[in-house]
Amino acid sequence: MGINKRGVFFSSDAILAMSIIFLVLLIALPSIILVLHQPPQTEVHRDILGAFSSLKVGYVNDTYTKELIASNIITNPNNTILEQIGEFYVTNYSLAQEFANQMLVDVNTNQNIGIWYENRLIASINKTPIESAENVETARQIISGIKEGSSVTGFSARAFLLSASKNDFIFYGGYVGDGAITSRVEYQGTLKKVEMELAINDDFDVYVNGINVGSFQKSPSVYTPIDYDIPIGNFSSGVNTLQLKNKNGNLLGISGGFIKLSYNTENVTNSGQRYYFPGVDGLINIYDGFYIPQNLSSVNIFLHINSGNVAFLNIGNTTVFRNSTQGEQTFSISNSQLSSQLNYQSLVGKTVPLRLGLENVSYFANYSLYTDVFSVTDLSSSMNSNIPSLGVKMISLARNANSKFVEIMLTSPFNRVGLVGYNTEVTPDNYHALSNDSNSLNNSINAWTTKAGNCVCCGVINATQSFASQSSSNKFKFMVVMTDGSMQGTCYSGSNSATADAIRASCEAYDNYNITSYTVGFGDGADSTTLQAMAQCGRGNYYHSSVDEIVNIYSKIANDIINASYAEQTLKFTGNFTTKLFSDSYIEFNYTQPGKPYGSYVSVEKTFSDSVSGNFDILNGSTLDSVKVVSYSGPRWTALATLNNNLVYNLSNYGKDFTTLGDPYFVVLPNNLVSGSNSVTLQTGVSPSNFSAGSASNKIIYTVIQNALTYSPISSYSNGCNWTIEFEDNTNITSAIPGNYSGSNICSYTRSSESYDSNDAFQIAVFNLLQLLDLDKNGKVDSKFTQNDLQVDITQITGIPYAWSTEVQARTWN
Amino acid sequence: MSKRAQSWGFDLLIGASIFLTGVLFFYVYVYSLSGGQVSKLDTFTNDGNKVANALLSSGSPENWNEGNVQKIGILSDGKINDTKLQEFYSFSISNYEKTKVLFNVNFDYYISFNDPIDAGNGQVLGIGREPVNPENLIKVTRVVIYNEKPETLNVIIWE
Q: Is B58 contained in some domain? A: yes
The interface residues of chain A toward chain B in range 101-160, judged by CB-CB distance below 8 A, are: 103-104, 106-111
Given an 8 Å threshold on Cβ–Cβ distance, is B19 in contact with A14?
Answer: yes
How far apart CA A308 and CA A809 sit, in angstroms, is: 96
Q: What's the gap in Å between the CA of B114 and the closest CA on chain A?
A: 7
Residues A463 and A343 in one domain: no
Q: Is A232 contained in some domain? A: yes
Given an 8 Å threshold on Cβ–Cβ distance, is A103 in contact with B147?
Answer: no
Strand A690-693 with A613-617, pairing: unpaired
DSSP A314-382: EETTEEEEEE--SSEEEEEE-HHHHHHH--GGGGBTSEEEEEEEEHHHHHHHHHHH-EEEEEEEE-BGG
How far apart CA A63 and CA B143 sit, in angstroms, is: 20
Nearest to B144 among A17, A51, A104 (CB): A51
Per-residue pLDDT at A409? 87
Q: What is the band of A631 on the pLDDT scale with cuts at 50, 70, 90?
A: confident
| DSSP letter (8 states) at residue A751 | S
Q: What is the band of A2 on the pLDDT scale with cuts at 50, 70, 90?
A: very low
Q: What's the gap in Å between the CA of B12 and the closest CA on chain A?
A: 6
Residues A526 and A385 in one domain: yes
User: What's the burial of B24, exposed, middle or buried (CB within 10 Å: 0-12/13-18/19+)?
Assistant: exposed
Per-residue pLDDT at A712? 82
Is A13's Cβ below 8 Å from some Cβ in B? yes
Residue B36's alpha-carbon distances to B21, B26, B42, in angstroms, are 21, 15, 10
Residues A206 and A250 in one domain: yes
Per-residue pLDDT at A635? 72
Per-residue pLDDT at A395? 92
Is A39's Cβ below 8 Å from some Cβ in B? no
Residues A296 and A427 in one domain: no
Q: Is B2 contained in some domain? A: no
Residue A3 has pLDDT above 50, yes or no: no
Residue A600 has pLDDT above 90, yes or no: no
Per-residue pLDDT at A366? 34
Residue A505 has pLDDT above 80, yes or no: yes
Q: Which residues on B lie below 8 Å from A7 (Cβ)?
A: 7, 10-11, 14
Given an 8 Å threshold on Cβ–Cβ distance, is A32 in contact with B78?
Answer: no
Among B32, B144, B149, the strongest candidate for a mutation testing the A interface, having the largest count of A CBs within 10 A, is B149
Given an 8 Å threshold on Cβ–Cβ distance, is B14 in contact with A40?
Answer: no
| DSSP letter (8 states) at residue A486 | -
H or E stretch including A68? helix A63-70
- What order do you get walking across the sheet with A120-125 strand by strand? A120-125, A112-117, A805-813, A136-144
Residues A507 and A399 in one domain: yes
**Ranges under pLDDT 50 in chain B:** 1-2, 35
Residue B55 belongs to domain spanning: 39-158
Report, as an integer, the average pLDDT of A189-195: 86
3-state DSSP assignment of residue A309: coil
Residues A515 and A600 in one domain: no
User: What is the four-CA torsion angle of A61, A64, A70, A76, rounded to 10 degrees?
Assistant: -70
Is A44's Cβ below 8 Å from some Cβ in B? yes
Q: What is the band of A348 on the pLDDT scale with cuts at 50, 70, 90?
A: confident
Q: What is the mean pLDDT of chain A?
A: 82
Residue A675's alpha-carbon distances to A191, A197, A386, A678, A682, in angstroms, are 36, 29, 54, 6, 18
Q: Is A421 contained in some domain? A: yes
Overall domain count for chain B: 1
Given an 8 Å threshold on Cβ–Cβ distance, is B11 in contact with A61?
Answer: no
Is A54's Cβ below 8 Å from some Cβ in B? yes
Tell which wins on pLDDT, A269 or A453.
A453
Q: For B75-136, where are the E strands, in sequence order?
A: 75-76, 79-80, 108-118, 123-128
Q: Is B61 contained in some domain? A: yes
- SS3 letters across A689-744: CEEEECCCCCEEEEEEEECCEEECCCECECCCEEEEEEECCCCEEEEEECCCCCCC
Per-residue pLDDT at A32? 52
Yes or no: say if A382 and A337 are a contact pair by the CB < 8 Å rule: no
Q: Which residues on A lie below 8 Å from B57 (Cβ)?
A: none
Domain boundary among the residues A516, A545, A574 is at: A545
Domain boundary among the residues A704, A736, A756 is at: A704
Residues A575 and A524 in one domain: no
Given an 8 Å threshold on Cβ–Cβ distance, is B147 in contact with A7?
Answer: no
Q: For A22-87, where are the E strands, in sequence order?
A: none
Q: Which residues on B lie below 8 Å from A29 (Cβ)?
A: 30, 33
Residues A434 and A535 in one domain: yes
Tell which wins on pLDDT, A662 or A216.
A216
Q: Which of B143, B56, B80 is nearest to A104 (CA)?
A: B143
SS3 content of chain A, % helix, strand, coil (to 5): 25, 40, 35
Is A18's Cβ below 8 Å from some Cβ in B? yes
Per-residue pLDDT at A362? 42
- SS3 letters across A567-608: HCCCCCCCCCCCEEECCCCEEEEEECCCCCCCCEEEEEEEEC
Is A47's Cβ below 8 Å from some Cβ in B? yes
Per-residue pLDDT at A387? 84
Among B136, B141, B143, the strongest candidate for a mutation testing the A interface, having the largest count of A CBs within 10 A, is B143
Report, as an integer, the average pLDDT of A548-576: 68
What does residue A402 show for φ and ψ, rounded to 5 degrees? -70, -35
How far apart CA A638 and CA A781 sit, in angstroms, is: 29
User: What is the four-CA torsion angle of A628, A634, A635, A637, rounded to 10 degrees?
Assistant: -20
Long-range contacts of B11-17 (CB under 8 A, 24+ apart): B11/A6, B11/A7, B11/A9, B11/A10, B11/A11, B12/A10, B14/A7, B14/A10, B14/A11, B14/A14, B15/A10, B15/A11, B15/A13, B15/A14, B16/A14
Q: What is the band of A575 on the pLDDT scale with cuts at 50, 70, 90?
A: low
Q: Is A16 contained in some domain? A: yes
**Number of neighbours of residue A94 by Cβ within 10 angstroms:** 8
Residue type, B113: F
How far apart CA B108 and CA B104 sit, in angstroms, is: 11
Residue A28 has pLDDT above 70, yes or no: no
Residues A407 and A523 in one domain: yes
Among A1, A59, A106, the strongest candidate for a mutation testing the B interface, having the largest count of B CBs within 10 A, is A106
Nearest residue of chain A to residue B5 (CA atoms): A3
Q: Is B22 contained in some domain? A: no
Q: Is B11 contained in some domain? A: no
Overall domain count for chain A: 7
Residues near A512 by Cβ (< 8 Å), separated by ≥ 6? Answer: A464
How far apart CA A51 and CA B143 sit, in angstroms, is: 7
Residue A519 belongs to domain spanning: 381-545
Per-residue pLDDT at A791? 54
Report, as an integer, the average pLDDT of A36-43: 58
Q: Which residues on A lie below 8 Å from B52 (Cβ)?
A: 43
- What order do you get walking across the sheet with A792-801 strand by strand? A709-711, A153-161, A792-801
Q: Is B84 contained in some domain? A: yes
Residue A759 has pLDDT above 50, yes or no: yes
Given an 8 Å threshold on Cβ–Cβ distance, is B143 in contact with A44?
Answer: yes
Crossing angle of the two packed helices A44-54 and A81-91, in degrees rounded to 10: 80
Nearest residue of chain B to residue A48 (CA atoms): B143
3-state DSSP assignment of residue A787: coil
Q: Which residues on A lie below 8 Å from B35 (Cβ)?
A: 36
3-state DSSP assignment of residue A803: coil
Among A47, A59, A81, the strongest candidate for a mutation testing the B interface, having the largest count of B CBs within 10 A, is A47
Per-residue pLDDT at A432? 95
How far apart CA A116 and CA A142 sit, in angstroms, is: 12
How far apart CA A34 and CA A56 sit, in angstroms, is: 42
**Number of neighbours of residue B88 by Cβ within 10 angstroms:** 25
Per-residue pLDDT at A705? 75
Given an 8 Å threshold on Cβ–Cβ distance, is B143 in contact with A48?
Answer: yes
Q: Which residues on A lie below 8 Å from B3 (Cβ)?
A: 3
H or E stretch including A810? strand A805-813
How far apart CA A578 and CA A107 sit, in angstroms, is: 98
DSSP A239-300: EEEEEEEESSSSPPEEEEEEEEEEEE-S------SEEEPPEEEEEEEEEEEEEB-S-EEEEE
Given an 8 Å threshold on Cβ–Cβ distance, is B77 in contact with A54?
Answer: yes
H or E stretch including A178? strand A175-187
Q: Is A781 contained in some domain? A: yes
Strand A515-522 with A542-545, pairing: parallel
Q: What is the band of A466 on the pLDDT scale with cuts at 50, 70, 90?
A: very high
The CATH number of residue A359's host domain is 2.60.120
Residue A80 has pLDDT above 50, yes or no: yes
Q: Is B29 contained in some domain? A: no
Q: What's the gap in Å between the CA of A98 and the closest CA on chain B?
A: 15
Q: Is A714 contained in some domain? A: yes
Q: What's the gap in Å between the CA of B11 and the closest CA on chain A?
A: 5
Per-residue pLDDT at B30? 62
Per-residue pLDDT at A283? 84
Nearest residue of chain A to residue B115 (CA atoms): A106
* Angle A374-A377-A382 from CA coordinates, rounded to 5°: 180
Is A15's Cβ below 8 Å from some Cβ in B? yes
How far apart CA A179 and CA A190 sit, in angstroms, is: 31
Question: End-to-end alpha-carbon separation of chain B, Å?
Answer: 66
Residue type, A163: S
Q: What is the band of A418 on the pLDDT scale with cuts at 50, 70, 90?
A: very high
**Number of neighbours of residue A507 by Cβ within 10 angstroms:** 18
Report, as an integer, the average pLDDT of A726-748: 85
Yes or no: say if A727 and A790 are a contact pair by the CB < 8 Å rule: no
Nearest to B114 among A17, A52, A108 (CB): A108
Sign of CA dihedral A283, A285, A290, A295: positive
Yes or no: say if A570 and A285 are a contact pair by the CB < 8 Å rule: yes
Nearest residue of chain B to residue A53 (CA atoms): B78
Q: Which residues on B lie below 8 Å from A47 (Cβ)?
A: 56, 142-144
Given an 8 Å threshold on Cβ–Cβ distance, is B3 in contact with A61?
Answer: no
Q: Which of B124, B138, B69 is nearest to B101 (CA)?
A: B69
Q: Is A772 contained in some domain? A: yes
Residues near A732 by Cβ (< 8 Å), separated by ≥ 6? Answer: A724, A725, A726, A750
Q: Is B67 contained in some domain? A: yes
Residues A439 and A492 in one domain: yes
pLDDT, tens digit (0-9, with 9 covering 90-100), for B118-136 = 877 788 889 999 998 888 8
Per-residue pLDDT at A460? 95
Residue A633 has pLDDT above 60, yes or no: yes
Is A34's Cβ below 8 Å from some Cβ in B? no
Residue A406 has pLDDT above 70, yes or no: yes
Radius of gyration, alpha carbons of chain B:
25
Residue A497 has pLDDT above 70, yes or no: yes
Q: Is A254 contained in some domain? A: yes
Nearest to A6 among B11, B141, B142 (CB): B11
Weakest-pLDDT range from A82-96, A344-358, A684-698, A752-766 = A684-698
Yes or no: say if A235 and A194 are a contact pair by the CB < 8 Å rule: yes
Given an 8 Å threshold on Cβ–Cβ distance, is B147 in contact with A61?
Answer: yes
Is A524's Cβ below 8 Å from some Cβ in B? no
User: What's the burial of B73, exposed, middle or buried (CB within 10 Å: 0-12/13-18/19+)?
Assistant: buried
Q: Which of A367, A369, A432 is nearest to A402 (CA)?
A: A432
Per-residue pLDDT at A284? 87
How far apart CA A265 and CA A20 sit, in angstroms, is: 101
Residues A611 and A526 in one domain: no
Residues A781 and A755 in one domain: yes
ipTM of the complex: 0.77
Given an 8 Å threshold on Cβ–Cβ distance, is A106 in contact with B41?
Answer: no
Among A26, A34, A43, the strongest candidate for a mutation testing the B interface, having the largest count of B CBs within 10 A, is A43
Q: What's the gap in Å between the CA of B111 and the closest CA on chain A?
A: 14
Tell which wins on pLDDT, A797 or B72.
B72
Yes or no: say if A741 and A722 are a contact pair by the CB < 8 Å rule: yes
Q: Which of A731, A662, A638, A630 is nearest to A198 (CA)?
A: A630
